[in-house]
Every structure is written in C-alpha cells, then in structure tokens.
Amino acid sequence: LYGMYAAATEGVGKAFISVMVPKGEAASAIGTFAGLSSLVAFVASAVAGLLWSAVSPEFVFAFSAGGTLLAALLLVNFKPHS
C-alpha cells in the first residue's frame, strides 16, 4: 500500500518543485527537497512514537489529521511566483 502512495506522489512533488525554481537550480532544489523530506519524516516518526507512548494513539491520529488539514489549507492558498 505504501508503495502505491510513493509511486503516486513522488514524481508530483519533484515536478512541482521543478516549475517553482529557475531551470539551472532544479537539481539542487529537488535534492534539497528529498533530503529535508527524509529528515522531517524521521522527526515526525519520532514525535509520533513519543506522543503514542506519552498521550494516546487516538491523540496521534487527531494530531496528524490537524497537521494534514493545515497543510492542505496552506497548499490551497499557495501562489507561485510567475
């Protein structure tokens, strides 16, 4: 199931980044995005594990849902430079 998610979203993120930066900086921007995404995924997993143990599994899912909603709102309101 995760493989289907990765296949459906990985290329989209790289394509989105490549149109946001100057052509000569696309490779650096995509590399930076990939590195930061991995780092953030690691931190998010650690925080989720701590919250799971310290608070409750339900709180982790609610917290994740709130973060997802916030990200969706930010993405909808995002205006790329022309």
- Cα(62)–Cα(18) distance, integer angstroms: 33
Residue listed under structure tokens 């917290």: 63
Per-residue pLDDT of the chain (82 residues; tens, 9 = 90+): 889 988 888 888 889 899 989 989 999 999 999 999 999 999 999 999 999 999 999 999 999 999 999 999 998 988 877 6
Using an 8 Å Cβ cutoff, are 51 and 61 in contact? no
pTM greater than 0.85: no
- Cα(46)–Cα(32) distance, integer angstroms: 21
- Cα(44)–Cα(42) distance, integer angstroms: 5
